A and B are shown apart, each in its own frame.
Chain A
Amino acid sequence: MRPSVRPLLAATAVVTALTTLSACAEKGSAKGGEGTVRVEAKDTACEVSAKEFAAGKVSLEVENKGSKVTEVYVLFPDDRIVTERENIGPGTKATITAEIKPGDYAIACKPGMTGDGIRQQVKVTGKGAAAKRSPEQDAAVAAYRSYVLAQAEETLPRARAFAAAVKSGNLAAAQQAYAPSRIGWERTEPVAESFGDIDPKVDVRADGLEKGQTWTGWHRLEKALWQDKKIGPEEKKLADTLVADLTVWQKKVGFAEITPTSMANGAKELLDEVASGKVTGEEERYSHTDLVDFKANLEGAEKSYQLLKPVAAKNDPALAKNLDARFAALNALLDTYRADKNSYVFTSYDKVAPDRRKELSDGVNALAEPLSKLAAAVVK
């Protein structure tokens, strides 16, 4: 994490989203009437009683007529969650209420609680609709959100494996499982950091602690594993805490307010992370696995860029050409630090000499400078 908290995706936005849905999922008691939309969730269909309704307090009366447990979501055009309800069993009913602003939305049923769901486009009418983005931009954000979600979902089992190794007291196994458990987080750090309360719990370094704050998370365990070389009851407890905190993170991704601009800036910020934490060897000061984080940061930045590239290349072809070349060059440079291009086993950073660190730093600067111009190219 960065020492200074400067969330790209304002944490306040998340809070707003959470309040908007007011979490008023009251079971049963479908009253019907004004502002009520009936949703029939089946295994192969998601039927809604109205495709256009007025803004304000809206109740979704959900009935699961299928054979699988389902979920129902109301989604913004970029797949950000307005409100949702999980675990609606076959044959049961649920009412979800939320304050919904004018605009275009999708209602999605997810039989089996997986995948993108079966969707119905709906229109919420009224004054004060939010400015629309282009379909390309919404598609880019939706694709990025699903990437972030996938990273979170991939991270959880790895974090559990890491926790299991810690709890077994096996130092070598825990050390081995440490860096891989961080990859998904590092790839999507700007989004993860936007949930202000999670980052300080899972990714804070000793020097980033505030007065009175208890040190928890990856780096606390990193110190135990590499510097103290000791796993005690405290560490075993912290391993469970880490998994719990990461589970909260995974749940929040859907609510993150992501925009094309914040994606572009997030890409740049991932490079900032590399420049200020990894190239200096500060991030992984005990394990020296900085190059694993470096690679993950770079991959996350490249993902954002690739998703925005159709828009950026149209507005600023020279920039896109430059970025393609710089990403390729930095990836190639990083590849010289691993024997197998498909593995995430990199040279320990304490074995990287100062002049080679400078070479890495120069490579980061070469990419980060044009990358800082991506946001402007996306909104042009």
Chain B
Amino acid sequence: MPDEHTTSGADTSGAGRPGVTGDTGDTGTVRDTGDIGDADARADGPGRTAPSRRALLGWGGAGLALGAAAAGGTAVALRGDVAGTAGAGTAVPFHGPHQAGIATPVQDRLHFAAFDVTTKDRAELVALLKEWTAAARLMTAGRPVGEGGFGGLPEAPPDDTGEALGLAASRLTLTVGFGPGLFAKDRFGLAGRRPDALVDLEPFPGDNLDRARSGGDLCVQACADDPQVAVHAIRQLARIGFGRTAVRWSQLGFGKTSSTTPEAQTPRNMMGFKDGTRNIAGTDTAALGRHVWAAARDGSPWMAGGSYLVARRIRMNIETWDRTSLQEQEDIFGRDKGEGAPVGRSNEHDEPFLPAMKPDAHVRLAHPDSNGGARLLRRGYSFTDGTDGLGRLDAGLFFLAYQRDPRTGFIPVQRRLARQDGLNEYIQHVGSAVFAVPPGVRDASDWWGRTLFS
């Protein structure tokens, strides 16, 4: 479901970037120095001094950054992992009524992991969630886990693996979710607590799901402006979990494809189109309350303040898309490629006039007006997992959408898209998962999942 919004690779720039032209071949002149200032600002985050130049080491951004550097200009190279958001090095508060990482302004990078719970013991599972919470509390504050990464007993491996030492908190958020399997009968005594909204997603037409990239009893979404910080976080949690959980699958993402900050420039997806123009803003409390946060009266009081996450790995047929004429590309999306304006309009944020679009245009089909007002908070990322065995870029959109109830959110929208979307010729859903995302951790004595297990 790459919708009417998008990504711009690692390179989410600040406002005023002149379209997509002049990106790589150009020298540093395209990038405004304001962004570079942001990069340096990372180093001023609390708790850590960030060697801001290590930006060059990141993956997603690295190719771009190094390419740019080769084109001339270290200033350009720096742009590789600039957040485009002020205060990229700062910490996002971990405690609150909702988990961070949903309404939080979208960070640049993602490491998402789905876990199988391998223990059969409910007490072990609860202990794990408490240990994870403690580790997440430290890491989101920019600190190592346990006793740290060095200086302990020489005979023991360090508690923290160390690759994030010296890096800023990088707005790391860790968001946990519970998959349907956790509520299975005769497993952890949670069968009666499965929310009605946590449905097993139906097979949609065109799905080609890989079981090894789908499902999971638990998930953790790690978002940060520094890829190494996000990967470090998942790695620590996976390590703490050994014996109780096993990583089922994980996905790295770069170049946020949806923005929850409408004032910032809308990112572009791997198809080159702006994505997420009409996303729910993280500051729009009314829309969040209506479309994103679950309420006690929805049927599962333990989920009050939580949300439901649908994750879909959407592979794009990059090479065939690239051979598609501009006219057809724009018809398929229902927006123009340069500005992102809806068909017949001149500005990106102009209200779309749906009847002007082709009946199978993506924006038209995904628009709330076509779906009884259904809205999702999208938080997806682009991914590129190298190339497949046939020399094709294994790339696409890792779609993440938060909603109050998938039965009125993702499912009806996807039914419509799967049936009619003109994009279907160029995309394929290859991974799928759904999770109940519990409410936030309130304070230092609280833990992920307390309302479910207590």
Contacts and interface: CB of A to CB of B under 8 A. Distances in A.
Nearest to A359: B246
Size bracket, chain A contacts: 20 to 34
A370 B243 contact: yes
A373 B244 CA distance: 17
A326 B244 CA distance: 11
Contacts of A265: 155
A367 B153 contact: no
A375 interface: yes
B246 A362 contact: yes
Contacts of B116: 362
Q: Which of B153, B212, B242 has the most CB of A within 10 A?
A: B242
Contacts of B212: 354-355
B157 A372 contact: yes
A366 B157 CA distance: 16
B415 interface: no
B430 to A, nearest CB: 17
A118 B432 CA distance: 70
A322 interface: yes
B118 A362 contact: yes
Interface residues of B, number: 12
Interface in A29-87: none
Nearest to B157: A372
A267 to B, nearest CB: 13
Contact of A373 (B118, B156, B246): B156
B209 to A, nearest CB: 15
DSSP majority for the A interface? helix
A250 interface: no
B148 to A, nearest CB: 15
A376 B243 contact: no
A196 B156 CA distance: 25
B239 interface: yes
Contact of A376 (B153, B242, B244, B246): B153
A261 interface: yes
Q: Which of B116, B118, B212, B239 has the most CB of A within 10 A?
A: B118
Contacts of B239: 369
Contacts of B242: 365-366, 368-370
Given A322-B243, A365-B246, A366-B242, A375 B156 contact: yes
Interface in A348-374: 354-355, 358, 362, 365-370, 372-373
Interface in B188-245: 212, 239, 242-244
Q: Which of A355, A366, A375 has the most CB of B within 10 A?
A: A366
Interface string B238-262: 0100111010000000000000000
Q: Which of A354, A362, A370, A380 has the most CB of B within 10 A?
A: A362
A379 interface: yes
B153 A369 contact: no
B155 A376 contact: yes
Nearest to A322: B243
Contact of B243 (A326, A378, A380): A326
A230 to B, nearest CB: 33
A326 B118 CA distance: 12
Interface of A: 261, 264-265, 322, 326, 354-355, 358, 362, 365-370, 372-373, 375-376, 378-380
Interface of B: 116, 118, 153, 155-157, 212, 239, 242-244, 246
